[in-house]
Structure 1
Amino acid sequence: MTNLYGSIHPADSVYLSTRTHGAVFNLEYSPDGSVLTVACEQTEVLLFDPISSKHIKTLTEAHEDCVNNIRFLDNRLFATCSDDTTIALWDLRKLNSKVCTLHGHTSWVKNIEYDTNTRLLVTSGFDGNVIIWDTNRCTEDGCPHKKFFHTRFLMRMRLTPDCSKMLISTSSGYLLILHDLDLTKSLEVGSYPILRARRTTSSSDLTTSSSSSGPRVSVSPCHHSDSNSPSEKHMSRASQREGVSPRNSLEVLTPEVPGERDRGNCITSLQLHPKGWATLLRCSSNTDDQEWTCVYEFQEGAPVRPVSPRCSLRLTHYIEEANVGRGYIKELCFSPDGRMISSPHGYGIRLLGFDKHCNELVDCLPKEASPLRVIRSLYSHNDVVLTTKFSPTHCQIASGCLSGRVSLYQPKF
């Protein structure tokens, strides 16, 4: 694996020209790896053949504002979301028009997920809402939908591969986890107040009501501790939703990032390990002077009571980033086998491993948090890289930058 990933170079046809379409905000391969889609700043979506690097189609005016994210539902259907507050469904077999446009958000839509078990589309936006769309009953006029969750400062939302958990990152440094996820059940809650975890020796709990008709949230202040326990050392558990039903129970975490122990941070990017073993976060300090990539292992089981001393995540690996292109979100990703991380780094990307041999995460878990290993650094852009993605079927990586160019990388022996 080290030889394979270490031999990756820029491909011969390294530049896919998108420079007239603004910055590249997101890249997404179809599940069979036959199509690479590009979400662009200037309202357009580009489609390429990633093997031949040939341009297939440009969806002009796919939206009325920046296209932020793309998500494939299967090998032919995909969804796009935009700052115009809408989501659009597309069919690769008929790209001249949208399948339908979904209206429901009131601010920029930044994230799309898909529950393959229930065939429900899940979106999140800067209005703080997570909305569920019933694609089983989709028409030209849209899809039935409901507000599933709301929180302030929402940045990114992800589902674990088995769709058993929903993770939500916030610009205020919180990571929310909904355990035993059931998207078919309404939480009947208008808002969960976000309370900053405080380091205090007080043993009292802070309790607040989320709404007159919703459940109550019990918030336990974080206690300062010098314990060597990894969970206490690297992650402070702030709260968990209590209720009769175990489904959709809420846990609120405040990840501690190296170099940020005395300052808040913003979790700008959130990804899940393909086998559901860990979560990958990109964090930047509130003062924008530091940026970190961190890996947190899912510990067995979720806390069952708010007073539980253990949280469900533990920091295992980290690395400091270049901290360039301030104000722009950098999207990083796991490889399909979960052995590697591709991370935007200045005008290129870095391939990061859990150890120098590119072993599986479970085979090289450290007792204490350790630095990620740089396997290879690849620089082929003339501007700051904002997003990167592994092909799900080929040993290929794509990256897109602020000036609108897409680079492809693959092994070269």
Structure 2
Amino acid sequence: FRFLDNRLFATCSDDTTIALWDLRKLNTKVCTLHGHTSWVKNIEYDTNTRLLVTSGFDGNVIIWDTNRCTEDGCPHKKFFHTRFLMRMRLTPDCSKMLISTSSGYLLILHDLDLNKSLEVGSYPILRARRTTSSSDVTSSGSSGPRSVGSPCHHNDSDLLSEKHMSRSSQREGGSPRNSLEVLTPEVPGERDRGNCITSLQLHPKGWATLLRCSSNTDDQEWTCVYEFQEGAPVRPVSPRCSLRLTHCIEEANVGRGYIKELCFSPDGRMISSPHGFGIRLLGFDAHCSELVDCLPKEASPLKEIRSLYSHNDVVLTTKFSPTHCQIASGCLSGRVSLYQPKF
């Protein structure tokens, strides 16, 4: 769900709808929004334009104009479409949209303009590459995104590379609005295999993105943190990559095939991650320091601060309270647990 103001909030559902609610009258919906054709999994909100943004397993990102909302719904339009869409997020300043896919691609729309719908082929792809460490530099070519050679990618690079690369050239002096970057994020142990990005979260200060990735064969699972990088390419022959892997940790891989939702703490110093029948609290160092104070030259392991176990089934989701020192977790059987950890 997502609050739009002090009283109005929106929820999404697997019944393909979005509902608007008023805290003062929770026994009935303000209105129901219809537009998706499959499960709706994400809601974002741009407070500047009062536009609601939703994404679903139908591959669509839809914009809803809450400025013109009535009992019958809100005017809406399809903003973006991609195959195998899993999760969609806006950065805190709403300047970027990130979209993860089950085929291992991470899409970033830069200099975001939600008022401009993106038809297929109308957006310029400026950069398309795998994220690299400092010891793994790949020179750019003219063929678009590099495939990692795994069946999990379903050849969706065809949709986002050669056909559209030929329609737009890289603009000198900066990126145009809604320019699309296509990445296959580096995942430890997955260099030669595909992966599925099942969970996508953003640092509350917009410094980094947090991914939960599983291998194509579901035999490995990782939590990874990627720092946003801005500026010109380090090497002229290589296109700039916006994300750099800074921290990671291998997960228990219990409950194969299920999506596990992880999260940052409100101050961004800790990560809560489902781990088997419980959760792990992870930090960038043992002292729960800020990310900017713990940026390594090469990817480093996340530090386990605390483990909390109280479920009898696989934990699928966890969330920090935005106002209290409290964490919630939910498991496959439907039980929700609340923790108040002491350090």
Place the TM-score, normalised by the shorter chain, in its bin: 0.7 to 0.9
How high is the TM-score relative to the length of structure 2?
0.84
Which region of structure 1 is more displaced relative to structure 2, 295-304 or 263-272? 295-304
2:104·2:153 contact (CA, 8 Å) conserved in 1?
A: no
Q: 1:129 to 1:117 in 2, by over 3 A?
A: same
Q: Deviations over 1:73-131 (max 9, x none)?
A: 23322211122111111111101111111111111111111111111100011111100
Q: 1:229 to 1:314 in 2, by over 3 A?
A: farther
Q: Deviations over 1:345-391 (max 9, x none)?
A: 01110000000111000001011000000000000111111111111
- Find out whether 1:86 has 2:17 as its counterpart: yes
Q: How far is the alpha carbon of 1:205 from its aligned partner?
A: 20
Instruction: Kindly tell me the number of residue pairs found equivalent between the two proteins.
Output: 343
How high is the TM-score relative to the length of structure 1?
0.70
Q: Please give the alpha-carbon distance, in whole angstroms, between the structure 1 residues aligned to 2:169 and 2:147.
A: 8
Match of 1:237 among 155, 167, 175: 167
Q: Please give the alpha-carbon distance, in whole angstroms, between the structure 2 residues aligned to 1:190 and 1:209.
A: 25
Other structure's SS at 2:58 match: coil
Q: How far is the alpha carbon of 1:189 from its aligned partner?
A: 2.9
Other structure's SS at 1:110 match: strand
What is the identity percentage for the equivalent residue pairs of Structure 1 and Structure 2?
94
Aligned-CA RMSD value = 7.5
Q: 1:159 to 1:411 in 2, by over 3 A?
A: same
Q: Deviations over 1:157-211 (max 9, x none)?
A: 00001111000000000000000111112223379899998999999999x9999
Q: 1:202 to 1:374 in 2, by over 3 A?
A: closer
Q: Which residue of 2 aligns with 1:215?
A: 145
1:190·1:210 contact (CA, 8 Å) conserved in 2?
A: no
Which region of structure 1 is more displaced relative to structure 2, 134-143 or 218-227? 218-227
Q: Please give the alpha-carbon distance, in whole angstroms, between the structure 2 residues aligned to 1:226 and 1:111.
A: 22
Q: 1:393 to 1:154 in 2, by over 3 A?
A: same
Q: 1:102 to 1:381 in 2, by over 3 A?
A: same
Other structure's SS at 1:229 match: helix
Other structure's SS at 2:36 match: coil
Q: Please give the alpha-carbon distance, in whole angstroms, between the structure 1 residues aligned to 2:320 and 2:91.
A: 18
Q: Please give the alpha-carbon distance, in whole angstroms, between the structure 1 residues aligned to 2:46 and 2:256.
A: 33
1:110·1:156 contact (CA, 8 Å) conserved in 2?
A: yes
Q: 1:407 to 1:292 in 2, by over 3 A?
A: same
Higher strand proportion, which one?
1
Other structure's SS at 1:233 match: helix
Which region of structure 1 is more displaced relative to structure 2, 225-234 or 272-281? 225-234
Q: Please give the alpha-carbon distance, in whole angstroms, between the structure 1 residues aligned to 2:154 and 2:103.
A: 20
Match of 1:105 among 36, 46, 49: 36
Q: Which residue of 1 aligns with 2:247?
A: 317
5+ unaligned residues in a row in structure 1: which ranges? 1-69
Q: Deviations over 1:228-247 (max 9, x none)?
A: 99999999999989999711
1:240·1:249 contact (CA, 8 Å) conserved in 2?
A: no
Q: Please give the alpha-carbon distance, in whole angstroms, between the structure 2 residues aligned to 1:199 and 1:248.
A: 20
1:273·1:334 contact (CA, 8 Å) conserved in 2?
A: yes
Which region of structure 1 is more displaced relative to structure 2, 148-157 or 77-86? 77-86
Q: Deviations over 1:9-63 (max 9, x none)?
A: xxxxxxxxxxxxxxxxxxxxxxxxxxxxxxxxxxxxxxxxxxxxxxxxxxxxxxx
2:140·2:237 contact (CA, 8 Å) conserved in 1?
A: no
Specify which structure has the bigger relative contact order, considering alpha-carbon pairs within 8 angstroms and separated by 6 or more residues: 1
Q: Please give the alpha-carbon distance, in whole angstroms, between the structure 1 residues aligned to 2:334 and 2:117.
A: 40
2:318·2:329 contact (CA, 8 Å) conserved in 1?
A: yes
Q: Please give the alpha-carbon distance, in whole angstroms, between the structure 2 residues aligned to 1:226 and 1:139.
A: 38
Q: Please give the alpha-carbon distance, in whole angstroms, between the structure 2 residues aligned to 1:286 and 1:156.
A: 18
5+ unaligned residues in a row in structure 2: which ranges? none
Other structure's SS at 2:148 match: strand
Which region of structure 1 is more displaced relative to structure 2, 140-149 or 233-242? 233-242
Q: 1:310 to 1:177 in 2, by over 3 A?
A: same
Which region of structure 1 is more displaced relative to structure 2, 78-87 or 316-325? 78-87
Aligned positions of 1:207-286 closer than 5 A? 246-286=176-216
1:266·1:286 contact (CA, 8 Å) conserved in 2?
A: yes
